[in-house]
Amino acid sequence: MTIDLTQFHDAFFDESFEALDSMESALLQLDTGNPDPELINTIFRAAHSIKGGSSTFGFAETASFTHSLETLLGELRDRRLAVTHTIADLLLKSVDVLRTMLGASRAGRPIEMQSVADLQFDIELIIVQRDTGVAASPSPMTSPPPARPALNRDGAVSRAAVKTVDWRIELRPGPEFFARGTDPVRIFRELAVLGTLTVTADLEALPGCRDMSPEWCYLSWSLRLITDAPEAAIREVFEWVNADCSLTVTAGERAPDAAPAAPSPSPSPSPAPPATVVAATHTGASQEPGSIRVGVEKLDELINIVGELVITHAMLSQISRSVTGPAADGLRSSMQQLERNMRQLQESVMRVRMLPISVVFSRFPRMVRDLAQRLEKQVELKISGETTELDKTVLEKIGDPLVHLVRNCVDHGIEKPQQRADAGKNAMGTIHLNASHRGGSIVIEIRDDGRGLDHERIIAKARARGLVGPNETLSAEQVQELIFLPGFSTAEVTTDVSGRGVGMDVVRSNIADLHGKIEVQSERGRGSRFQITLPLTLAIVDGLLLAVGDQTYIVPMTSTIESLRLTPSQVTAIADGRELFGFRDEYLPIVRLYKTFGLSPRARALHDGLVVVVEGAGRRIGLFVDDLLSQQQVVIKSLETNYGRVPGISAATILGDGSVALILDVADLIRMASRREAA
Amino acid sequence: MNPARQLPRPGGGTDDSPPRSEVIELPVDCTLRHISALKEQLCGVSDDVQNITLDLRRLERFDTATLQLMAAFVRDHAARGANLLTCGNRPSWDEAAELLGLSATLAGRV
């Protein structure tokens, strides 16, 4: 029976990317002067796991690369090599290369082998330099490595427990053997470490120099290896090339022992074949208590069903209120119990989709380190609250805005060491990344102790661009808001890091799309603080129910500032029938929702209805509605999936009475109002 | 890629029938990604060159593909009776040739 291994590819890639994350995280914690052995073990295990999986699933290039990487890590683990900055950098680069390789394999794209080959060469060079004790060897082939118990790295092989055997190995590579990143000389060198190796090359298929394709492999080899290493140890050397060649390993006659085997005080068990080791690793991982890999679509389906249950429950509750008679009390009591259970179920299901924000935060230590190096700055990144959980979808979408903000902190916020010293600051700048829960929201804070926003430059830039009148005075809050305008940048020099004038408006817009908001506080010379407030989930929203005519609309609570009843004297009518009202030192336009959606309202005069001040995309408007109905959590139903895009509406929900209510897209309503103003 | 250099004739003369000699200077990197250029360089060596010297002094990076190509080149020219010599970087070159079972071929003995 043939097993279709492709069905396991997704799990392999997921696990490999997780292994790379833990590898990177451990590398960033590695103290080059005094490395923690457990961290090196973590890195080694990650590389070993990827190597095994790549080999099993036929990703030969990745298997070959991780094989070299694992060898280097083995040297570090066994303290035959010291962890230097060069090696730490090389290992971090390896993480990047592996991410690219795995990403390409997952997408079915060819791997760009040049960078892989370069890095692999550098890795092997370091290993050989260690072996030869040469500081700058011209080539990894300068000298064969001294014999060492290569297979003892897993602590499983005991030479003393086995007899010396004369092995015959036939290696017949396919034409693309080299192109897949496999170099036989490396394989043979490893074999030579195991015992006495004799190699005979078969040049029968090798054409003349002019007729050959030099990238192709025409050679094949017959090898004779006299060793006391077990067959598994020999096969391990070939484990990542098996898919690309024909390989036979046969035991010949038992060779006379070179030396009598010393009795081992505690014989180690023979190692399992590598594939078995890998499989065992995977099995072990999947059997961790409380850990199971489930497809996101299954979770979404579950959440959807729970959402339907919430709606059905709300309908039943409404009906139960009108029930009279002897069964009424029992029914209502049962409904209350059902409600409690429903809430628990809903919360439990929502928690399943929750992931710690460390998934996103974990990319920043590396990013800050690399950026700081490039910009010749000293930056310490402090992370707290990384276990704070939020919905997977929110998590996926908040990554890019956070990257932009952290980059800005390093590039624009933190000064060069000399500038900091001149300003009486510690040469090492600090960026603090924190996440916490506040009520039904998550708050992410990015704080630096850099130069802070230069209000004068921002105002000057805004005046130059006509965004602020020559005599117009702005509050500190208003000045800081200017950085969120499209294309606004005060950077004197644009770099590839930041300062191209794109970004902060996009950051705000992306956060608004998540029903969140971003605020900034900054003090010149002391630093800046960006605070992002996000809902915990996009599946359920805390909403304010608004009545307009016979319709109910919902505005997310995160967008709501205040509701107020206006008197005619507070309203200023301007040209084209537009209306403004004063609100906290600014004039806000009034958007009559009944006009926007073509409804017949119960209230047309402003003093008969209510104005709800909402905020989105950095701007505020007042929504004129008939009345406020209530505040409640609602289950979001995609309108675009079920119907189509409607301007000013982000989604829909089903209320307890079974009616459909539309959820307002505040940012879109503000954009629509702005377009009307501009027109 | 450096073209094959023709060795100056002894005394700088223009003898009509001296054995022609060429030095093939292998570049720093002869690994797979530069192997086509190396092949081009090798194919530029005329069949009437009698003494071929492989100058390995600059060579830092090579792999099995390099040695395979060199084996084909050496075998071709050895078969027509050319003399093959190498200079520079012998230990690493020889070690790799030995490991691949190509020592005799690369020495022009096969």
Domain range list for chain A: 5-132, 157-260, 296-352, 356-535, 540-678
Domains of chain B: residue spans and CATH: 21-106 (3.30.750.24)
Task: Report whether pLDDT(A489) > 80.
Answer: no
Count Cβ atoms below 10 Å from residue B77 Cβ, excluding itself.
20
> pLDDT tens digits, residue range B52-71?
888 888 888 889 999 999 99
Pair type for strands A571-573 and A579-583: antiparallel
* Residue of chain B with shortest Cα separation from A201: B101
A133-147, A211-225, A239-253, B96-110: segment of lowest average pLDDT? A133-147
CA distance B54 to B40: 15
Work out the average pLDDT over A489-508.
58
Tens of pLDDT, residues A179-198: 877 889 888 888 888 888 88
For residues A549-558, average pLDDT: 91
Residue of A114, A121, A215 lying closest to B65 (CB–CB): A215
Average model confidence (pLDDT) across chain A: 79
Q: From A132, which residue of chain B is nearest by alpha-carbon distance?
A: B92
Q: Does residue A81 surpass a pLDDT of 50?
A: yes
Which residues in chain B have their CB less than 8 angstroms from residue A212's CB? Answer: 39, 69, 72
Nearest residue in chain A measured CA to CA from B66: A214
Across the interface, of A192, A210, A219, the residue whose CB is closest to B99 is: A192
Q: Which carries the bigger pLDDT value, residue A559 or residue A530?
A: A530
Who among B32, B72, B91 is closest to A178 (CB)?
B32
**pLDDT at residue number B90:** 66
Distance from CA of B46 to the nearest CA of A (A): 12
| CATH architecture of the domain with range A157-260 | 2-Layer Sandwich (3.30)
Q: Across the A/B interface, how many CB contacts are shorter than 8 Å?
A: 106
Q: How confident is the model at residue A352 (pLDDT cuts 50, 70, 90)?
A: confident
The CATH H-level (homologous superfamily) assignment of domain A540-678 is CheA-289, Domain 4 (2.40.50.180)
Q: Which residue has the higher pLDDT, A637 or A590?
A: A590
Measured in angstroms, the CA of A222 and the nearest CA of chain B are apart by 9
Which residues on chain A are in Cβ contact (under 8 Å) with B32? 117, 178-179, 215
Q: Which residue has the higher pLDDT, A459 or A263?
A: A459
CB within 8 Å: B95 and A141: yes
Nearest to B63 by CA among B107, B105, B93: B93
The identity of residue A191, as a single letter, is L
Which of the pair, A81 or A32, is modelled with greater confidence? A81
**C-beta atoms of A184 and B76 within 8 A:** no
pLDDT at A272 over 70: no
**Residue A257 clears pLDDT 90, i.e. is over it:** no
Percentage of chain A lying above the pLDDT 90 cut: 23
Distance between CA A616 and CA A540 in Å, rounded? Answer: 19
**Fold designation for A5-132:** Four Helix Bundle (Hemerythrin (Met), subunit A) (1.20.120)
B90 contacts in chain A (CB < 8 Å): none
Tell me what pLDDT residue A328 has.
Answer: 86
Maximum Cα–Cα distance for chain B, whole Å? 43
At residue B78, the 3 state secondary structure works out as: helix
pLDDT of residue B110: 55
User: What is the model's pLDDT at position A195?
Assistant: 84
The superfamily in CATH containing domain A356-535 is Histidine kinase-like ATPase, C-terminal domain (3.30.565.10)
Within A108-221, residue ranges assigned H as helices are 113-132, 184-194
For helices A296-321 and A328-352, give the axis angle rounded to 10 degrees: 160
| Lowest pLDDT segment from A256-260, A402-406, A488-492 | A256-260
| Candidates A121, A212, A214; nearest CB to B61 | A121
Find the range with the poorest average confidence among A289-303, A494-508, A515-529.
A494-508
Nearest chain B residue to A128, by CA: B92
Average pLDDT over residues B22-30: 89
Picking from A144, A178, A200, the nearest residue to B95 by CB comes out as A144
Residue A576: is its pLDDT beyond 50?
Answer: yes
Residue A318 above 70 pLDDT? yes
Given CB atoms, is B73 within the 8 Å cutoff of chain A? yes
Confidence (pLDDT) at A677 = 64
pLDDT at position A5: 65
**Nearest beta carbon to residue B100 from set A144, A184, A218:** A184
Q: How far is A278 from chain B (nearest CA, A)?
A: 29
For an interface test with A, which of B28, B30, B32, B34 has the most A Cβ atoms less than 10 Å from its Cβ? Answer: B32
* Segment among A606-615, A656-665, B33-42, B93-102 with least mean pLDDT: A656-665
Its ipTM equals 0.87
Contacts with B99 from chain A: Cβ below 8 Å: 144, 185, 188-189, 192, 197, 199
Give residue B87's Cα distance to chain centre. 10
Q: How far apart are CA A380 and CA A372, in angstroms?
A: 9
Which of A145-154, A212-221, A282-291, A516-525 reaches the highest mean pLDDT? A212-221
- CA–CA gap between residue A513 and residue A536 (Å, rounded): 14
Lowest-confidence segment of A279-288, A478-487, A573-582, A619-628 by average pLDDT: A279-288
Q: Average pLDDT, stretch A136-148? A: 34
The least confident of A23-32, A59-68, A306-315 is A306-315
**CA of B80 to nearest chain A CA: how many angstroms apart?**
12
The pLDDT of residue A356 is: 87
CA distance A667 to A583: 19
Q: What is the DSSP string of A578-595?
A: -EEEEETTEEEEEEEHHH
Local structure of residue B29 (DSSP, 8 states): B
Kindly list the residues from chain A whose CB atom is less than 8 angstroms away from the CB atom of residue B95. Answer: 141-144
* Residues from A in contact with B at Cβ < 8 Å: 113-114, 117, 121, 138-139, 141-144, 178-179, 183-185, 188-189, 192, 197, 199-201, 203, 206-210, 212, 214-215, 217-219, 221
Query: Which residues between 11 and 70 in chain B have a beta carbon less than 8 angstroms from any beta carbon of chain A?
Result: 31-33, 35-36, 38-39, 42-43, 59-65, 67-69
pLDDT tens per residue across span A607-629 = 899 999 998 766 889 999 999 99
Q: What pTM was estimated for this model as a whole?
A: 0.50
pLDDT tens for each residue of A364-412 = 998 898 889 889 999 999 999 988 888 888 888 888 889 889 999 999 8
